[in-house]
Amino acid sequence: MKKLGNLSAFLAQNVMKVENIKYAASKRIVQEGKPVEWEIGAITGEEDEALRKECTKRVPVPGKRNAFIPETDFTKYLSKLVVKCTIFPNLNDAELQNSYGVMGAEELVKTMLTPGEYADYAAKVQEVNGFNIPLDEAVEEAKN
């Protein structure tokens, strides 16, 4: 039987950390003539699982009594992921929310950005977290 290699590469202290990235989510949000960069950080698998669980409900199976299947609301999940991964700006800041006349970080980010900007930003957030599938493919996959 072949002996497996040394496990030291897998030890937490030896694994490269996912670096936060800076990304200009909108050309319309400027300071000193330049688009302001947002800061995006990755979350852990455990945090991701909690988000998915929050966005999943049990749906009855038609024709089968007491049978349910899990169904994930991908739009809701993506919205929560975007908020959780946005380090800067602080989307939970009351003054920022008040300036847009909204309550809640998820509503704020969707109000701050145009639909196209939001889609691009959400794709960038997914990329930072290691999901390298384009948004439209992910949505199609979630529908199936």
- pLDDT tens digit sequence for 21-47: 999 999 999 999 999 999 999 999 999
In the chain, the number of structural domains is 1
Residues of the chain with pLDDT > 70, as a percent, come to 88
Look up the domain containing 111 and give its range. Answer: 18-42+72-143
6 or 17, greater pLDDT = 17
Which CATH number covers residue 97?
Answer: 3.30.2220.30
Q: What is the DSSP string of 23-91?
A: E---SSSEETTEEPPEEE----HHHHHHHHHHTEEEEEPTT-TT-EEEEE-HHHHHHHHHHHHEEES-T
Give the pLDDT band of residue 144 (cuts 50, 70, 90): very low
Query: pTM (2 decimals)?
Result: 0.81
Dihedral sign computed on CA atoms, order 97, 100, 104, 106: negative
Q: Which of 70, 81, 68, 72 is nearest to 41 (CA)?
A: 81
**Structural domain includes residue 118:** yes
pLDDT beyond 90 at 128? yes
For residue 57, what are the β-bridge partners?
71
